[in-house]
Chain A
């Protein structure tokens, strides 16, 4: 039973354009959401997060949007750069440092020239 779902296993975007990665969750107890980026043979690296009291959080080229009623979040990357090519994991947690973080299955983003 996947509580965090990323339905697109892969996405290809032209350099300079916007990349939009989507994520859905089922557990309404989640109130903290994160995006991680992962390169091969490395551990996941934190990218950006959002708490359930917000609907948008922006950090440079990265923006995360949260739609609580739809239990949906998305990550926007604009403009997309070659170094953005990686696997992106959506994750969710309850608002406690001791809570487990549940990950989606990941979306492989490829930025083409």
Chain B
């Protein structure tokens, strides 16, 4: 039973399109994150939500809009996709004073 699951695993789309990536965790954690791994393999935090509230936004373009309908879900919606958005996006969750658990990643390719 997967702890943090994100869908889809692969996403290929054209420039200018709008797409969403879904994330769900069944660990009962209060905090969820979105990370981006770029072509240089850096893992950079994008957003952090705690109990459905946005607490960290790392100067991500406002084309990226996270949405947390409940504590177990943090979805990422991206408008007007650009070539530079191509990357692997990871969702993660974290409980009280513990490590973060990551999903398997979504490889987004914008053509």
Contact = CB atoms under 8 A, between A and B. Distances in A.
A34 B99 contact: yes
A49 B44 CA distance: 19
Nearest to A47: B99
Give 3 nearest A-B pairs by CB, closest first: A43-B102, A103-B43, A46-B99
Interface of B: 4, 29-31, 33, 35, 40-45, 48, 50, 55-56, 58, 90, 92, 94-105
Interface string A29-54: 00010101000011111100100000
A98 B43 CA distance: 18
Interface of A: 32, 34, 36, 41-46, 49, 87, 89, 95-98, 100-103, 105-106
Given A43-B105, A98-B55, A103 B99 contact: no
A97 B94 CA distance: 6
A105 B48 CA distance: 20
B33 A100 contact: yes
Contact of A100 (B29, B45, B95): B45
A102 B45 contact: yes
B97 A46 contact: no
Contacts of B44: 103
Contacts of A100: 33, 45, 48, 56, 58
Q: Which of B4, B40, B101, B102 has the most CB of A within 10 A?
A: B102
A37 B72 CA distance: 24
Best-buried of B31, B42, B44, B99 by chain A (most CB within 10 Å)? B99
A43 B35 CA distance: 11
Nearest to A105: B42
A42 B31 contact: no
Nearest to A2: B42
A101 B43 CA distance: 10
B63 to A, nearest CB: 21
B90 A43 contact: yes
B31 A97 contact: yes
A101 B20 CA distance: 24
Given A44-B90, A95-B97, A101 B45 contact: yes
